[in-house]
Amino acid sequence: MSDFPHSRRADIRPNDPFADPLDAVLAEIAVNIQLPPGLHAKAVDRYEAVRRYIERPGSPLEGRVVCFYPQGSMAIDATTSTRGTDDEYDLDIVAEIEGPDDGPEALLDDLEEALKGYPVSRIVRQTRCVTLYYADGMHLDVTPSRRRAPKEKEGEIPHAKKGARTEPPRYVPMNAYAFAQWYLIRTPVEERFALALNRRLYEEAGIAFAAAEVEEVPPQTPLIIKSVTTVALQLVKRHRNIVYATETGRIPPSVMLSCHAGHAARPGLGLADMVIRQSRWTARAIDEAARRGRRLSVLNPEFAAEQFTDRWPETQLQQTTYSRHLHTLANGLEAARNGNVQLEDLQAWLRDQFGDRVVTRSVTAFNRRIGQQVQARQHGYTRSGGLVVPAAPAIIGTGAGLAPISARGHTNMGERW
């Protein structure tokens, strides 16, 4: 597994993500789990509104907020719909606070008090943050932090369960800002991929993006999707959300998956190949930890005092169970890539991995797109996935499956690991 930095903008320009049938289906799924453009703009507005409210006159944090910045998925453009739902999105921001330090519980108390009365559906204090729940399904986690070193944004966040006596409050080392910068450097914008997939995202939202021949970003139109690595990360996170949809305890942390995605980054790789690569990266890291009789430990590459896995995994069984899920995902995609599956089996398997509603919408959109290309006598797909100018429709009805994937004997997808 190579580990090397990349420049901010990739010279490699990957092919149209819809040119390969498996990549095309995964791209459709990725479009369907994105924060839609309308909500993306709304998230930015809410970010600013929360900042102003926390710092308003009379707030316990008036004049104490040094800076306010996004962290996690919001900072690296990897936000996806949460758990098994398709209409809820988690966003994370950090409020760096100065002034008297009365301990981690008091810091959370001040933030909770500063947010009291904010116009949302409900406000819930958590162990490390305060969560704002909006009526449209968006969740905004606000985490207070304190600067502990001259280095920019290096500090601590509180860990304090209100009223708990069995677990004393404490501070936890954190530098989310430096991690986000590290990730963005390693995952440069891949222009052709970004333009093609963003065009699909805006089309899905009913927003005109640009003419098909235009290779530039339209004015005032942000690129929400930027690299193959990040879209693959979103798919891996979506897979995790579906696998753990009915779980009530802790699940593998997003920041751990983001860190492994950054290490695994290889601009120019196809989408399916990148999902496989990231899945294997995390699974093999878990397997190696288990082989040594240890629990997985993943550290912030820019701040080793911060451990991304400090609350998960709690047991060997937890981590090996997730490793098995990741190997199953990678094995299934490899089987699909090699054409060793029946069409109906592939659709059913994708629903198990990424969710029924999302996959059904994505397959329908994929087949509709190919049908339009056939009618316009544009390129279609051969049974093995090659591009052709079709003489007849290259798709089967939506109830039957994805014609571009070769139909062979039944295979138990993903059982090898």
Catalytic residue among 20, 141, 287, 352: 141
Cα distances from 364 to residues 347, 370, 382, 390, in angstroms, run: 11, 10, 19, 20
Cα dist. 184→43, 65, 271 in Å? 20, 25, 18
Task: Single out the catalytic residue among 77, 90, 110, 345.
Answer: 90
Nearest to 264 by CA among 310, 303, 316, 301: 301
Classify burial at 409, counting beta carbons within 10 Å of its beta carbon; exposed 0-12, middle 13-18, buried 19 or more: exposed
Q: Mark whether 141 is an active-site residue.
A: yes
Residue 77 annotated as catalytic: no
Give the C-alpha distances (Å, rounded to integers) separating 12 from 2, 191, 200, 227, 228.
Answer: 18, 9, 21, 11, 12
Which DSSP letter does residue 365 get? Answer: H
Close Cβ partners of 312 (under 8 Å, ≥ 6 residues apart):
250, 251, 252, 253, 256, 318
Amino acid letter at 222?
P
Nearest of 4, 97, 94 to residue 301 by alpha carbon? 4
Strands of 295-404, DSSP E: 299-300, 303-307, 380-381, 387-388
* DSSP code string of 229-282: HHHHHHHHHHHHHHHTTT--S----HHHHHHHHHHH--TT--HHHHHHHHHHHH
- C-alpha 24/C-alpha 19 separation (Å) is 7
Structure tokens at 413: 């997808």
* Contact of 75 with 180, CB cutoff 8 Å: yes
Q: Does the annotation mark 11 as catalytic?
A: no
Catalytic choice (20, 92, 110, 287):
92
Which positions are annotated as active-site residues? 90, 92, 141
